Amino acid sequence: MKVHEYQAKALLQEFGVPVPRGEVAATAEEARAIAERLGGRVVVKAQVHAGGRGKAGGVQLADDPAGAEAAARRILAMRLRTPQTPPEGIAVRRVLVEEASEIARELYVAVTLDRARATHVVMASQAGGMEIEEVAAATPEKIVREWAHPALGLQAFQARALAFALGLSGDQHRAAAALVQALFRAYLARDCSLAELNPLAVTRDGRVLAVDAKLGFDDNALFRRPEIRALRDVGEEDPLDVEASRFGLNYIKLDGNVGCMVNGAGLAMATMDMVKLAGGAPANFLDVGGGASAEQIENAFRILASDPSVRAVFINVFGGILRCDRLAEGLIAAVRRLGVRLPIVVRMEGTNVELGRRMLAESGLNFTTADDMGRGAAAAVELAGQAR
Ligand code: GDP
Ligand code: MN
């Protein structure tokens, strides 16, 4: 789960990470009032669940309250398009108005999970403010890492080493080491999957300050973090994702036109490969789970069918706990109830497969059955192409 920058900053501040003073606004007038309270130069920042806002015009400096109002009006009217948003961009519904910082240097600090080392890694770089993926690809030596000990956590000497790697000394070094430890404590205490400050700024008057903050949370820990769940902004999420999460379906929207419905994550990956191999592109990843019920099948199907880019559906199911006849029953009921017209290719295997196939064939609905995965994928890709 992601949260907005203003929410991330409020949370990090509780743990002692220094952030600029600021407040969130939903209208240009509110932005003006906040700028009046803050006094002086401010920065107005689009609050969306995507980075890269600066280059897209979503971060604007203003000298006075009137300027802040105008900047907020421009940003709130935007559909922000960045490399991290869908191609059509996302509407901006709120802005963060903050005291502007006089930035002398832009640094980078982040905490995330290193799966290979099975512990948390803290990364620091003097090449902050830019796309860290590019730094990692072109000049990996510019990123310094320290791994937290599973039991001892991030130790003081490691935080100091990271602060040195940021090129800091004296008071700034002490401040940065404390900040890194505060960031790590927040990350751990709130079950984050990512805590990133880019940039972490050194200001002209010598302070070390989180100018940008991004937090991601481990969805599997949300059950024990009601205060984090309360920060969820479903308005920022794809409506189909929200729907899928309600029914415990593992759904990820992709760019293609073949809707895929599969039980089991491994089978889902293989199915997407087969669709690609057949020259097509999957519209989604959808795992209904090994023990899906007929009801989950119906919900999954409804989500697939309501995606306008889907031209054909490929259902690839191994009937184990979910028997093939129950699957067929669920599908037939769903197609009838939803009045789906899309071509549907069904490849199923396992318990009661003969009965399931017969039910589909006798239903009089638009099902094509395939007896193996490769032929099923090819048929779905072809039907999706014809529907274009
Ligand atoms: P992002 O582009 O979505 O990552 O948004 P950021 O919050 O990182 O802002 C992008 C860039 O805007 C930063 O790298 C800074 O160069 C600049 N910026 C942001 N806030 C301030 C500020 O208070 N003062 C100044 N001078 N620049 C800022
Ligand atoms: Mn940033």
Residue-wise pLDDT for 197-226, tens only, equals 999 999 999 999 999 999 999 999 999 999
Residue-wise pLDDT for 300-310, tens only, equals 888 888 899 99
Confidence of residue 144 (pLDDT cuts 50, 70, 90): very high
Are 299 and 318 found together in one domain? yes
Tell me which residue of 298, 304, 289 sits closest to 256, measured CA to CA.
Answer: 304
Are 301 and 212 found together in one domain? no
Task: Give the model's pLDDT for residue 244.
Answer: 86
Within 10 Å of residue 292's Cβ, how many Cβ atoms?
Answer: 25
Are 8 and 81 found together in one domain? no
Are 326 and 360 found together in one domain? yes
Of the candidate ranges 285-294, 310-319, 336-345, the one whose mean pLDDT is the lowest: 285-294
Q: How far apart are the C-alpha atoms of 63 and 46, rounded to whole Å?
A: 18
Catalytic residue list contains 196: yes
Catalytic residue list contains 187: no
Task: Give the model's pLDDT for residue 320.
Answer: 81
3-state secondary structure of 52: coil
Q: What is the mean pLDDT of residues 14-42?
A: 97
Tell me which residue of 266, 237, 230, 262 sits closest to 249, measured CA to CA.
Answer: 262
Does the structure show a pLDDT above 60 at 95? Answer: yes
Does the structure show a pLDDT above 80 at 294? Answer: no
Which of the pair, 291 or 238, is modelled with greater confidence?
238
Give the active site residue among 69, 106, 146, 196: 196
Phi, psi of 373 (to 5 degrees): -65, -40
Mean pLDDT, the chain, whole residue set? 93
Task: Give the model's pLDDT for residue 86.
Answer: 80
In short, whether 57's Cβ falls inside 6 Å of ligand 1 is no
**Cα-to-centroid distance, 51 and ligand 2 (Å):** 6
Single pTM value for the model: 0.81
How is residue 273 written in tokens? 């490969």
The contacts found for 21-27 with CB under 8 angstroms, 24 or more apart, are 21/98, 21/99, 22/96, 22/97, 22/98, 22/99, 23/96, 23/97, 24/94, 24/95, 24/96, 24/97, 25/72, 25/94, 25/95, 25/96, 25/97, 26/76, 26/93, 26/94, 27/72, 27/76
Which of 83, 100, 117 is the last residue before a domain boundary? 100
Q: What is the mean pLDDT of residues 237-241?
A: 82
**Cα-to-centroid distance, 52 and ligand 2 (Å):** 7
Ligand nearest to the CA of 198: 2
Which of 194, 214, 237 is the last residue before a domain boundary? 237
**Cα-to-centroid distance, 4 and ligand 2 (Å):** 12
Query: Domain span at residue 63?
Result: 21-100
Output the domain CATH number for residue 155.
3.30.470.20
Confidence of residue 388 (pLDDT cuts 50, 70, 90): low
Domain count, the chain: 3
Please report which helix (H) or strand (E) contains residue 219, including its range. Answer: none
Are 370 and 268 found together in one domain? yes
Which of 181, 211, 237 is the last residue before a domain boundary? 237
Residue-wise pLDDT for 322-347, tens only, equals 889 988 988 898 899 888 889 999 99
Output the domain CATH number for residue 84.
3.30.1490.20
Are 208 and 243 found together in one domain? no
Confidence of residue 293 (pLDDT cuts 50, 70, 90): confident
Does the structure show a pLDDT above 70 at 138? Answer: yes
Output the domain CATH number for residue 350.
3.40.50.261
